[in-house]
């Protein structure tokens, strides 16, 4: 039978992360938030009021120009997106991110969900074919194959 991971307190987690050579820095101007980084990847965690002890504020991602990049899936390829630019998600960067997340989960006692264990979970999914589907039907863009100028070319 699988054992449930032991929940650690905020102070225990930070102490263990430092011991394992993670860089733990307070987020300037925000109480009880720490930026945790190692090997080019980072996450922002916050002290939680509940028994779990911590909460994720910024999802893990590679650090690009000092900013934690978000992983965006465009259907044909994954990209790391920052406020300044977008970069292809290379195998090396994804592997480094996976290792960072796994080590972090081990320290925090977090549970790995099935879909996370299968591979990379993106922060956003922006496929061209589903673009606008989150809008009410009256506000959705008309697909190219339904536009009047394309009706006679079948």
What is the CB neighbour count within 10 angstroms for residue 53?
19
Smallest CA-to-CA distance from 89 within 119, 116, 117 is with 119
Q: What's the start-to-end Cα distance of the chain, in Å?
A: 60
CA angle in degrees (0–180, nearest 5) for 24-14-89: 50
pLDDT of residue 107: 87
pLDDT of residue 18: 95
For 102-153, what is each residue's pLDDT tens digit?
899 888 877 777 666 666 677 776 666 666 777 788 888 777 777 777 666 5
CA angle in degrees (0–180, nearest 5) for 47-24-45: 30
pLDDT of residue 121: 72
**How far apart are the C-alpha atoms of 61 and 38, rounded to whole Å?**
11
Between the alpha carbon of residue 5 and those of residues 37, 49, 87, 108, 112, the distances in Å are 23, 19, 35, 9, 11
- What pTM does this model have? 0.73
Q: Are 16 and 6 contacting, i.e. CB atoms less than 8 angstroms apart?
A: no
For 6-61, what is each residue's pLDDT tens digit?
677 888 889 999 999 999 999 998 888 999 999 999 999 998 876 567 888 899 99
């Amino acid at each position: 039978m699988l054992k449930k991971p032991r929940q650690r307190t905020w102070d225990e987690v930070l102490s263990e992360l430092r011991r394992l050579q993670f860089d733990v820095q307070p987020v300037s101007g925000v109480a009880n938030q720490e930026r945790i980084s190692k090997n080019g990847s980072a996450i922002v965690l916050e002290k939680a009021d509940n028994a779990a002890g911590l909460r994720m504020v910024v999802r893990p991602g590679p650090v690009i120009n000092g900013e934690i990049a978000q992983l965006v899936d465009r259907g044909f390829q994954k990209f790391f997106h920052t406020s300044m630019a977008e970069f292809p998600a290379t195998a090396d960067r994804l592997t480094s991110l996976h290792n960072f997340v796994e080590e972090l989960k081990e320290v925090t006692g977090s549970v790995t969900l099935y879909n996370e264990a299968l591979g990379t979970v993106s922060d956003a999914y922006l496929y061209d074919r589903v673009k606008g589907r989150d809008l009410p039907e009256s506000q959705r863009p008309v697909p190219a194959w339904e536009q009047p100028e394309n009706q006679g070319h079948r």
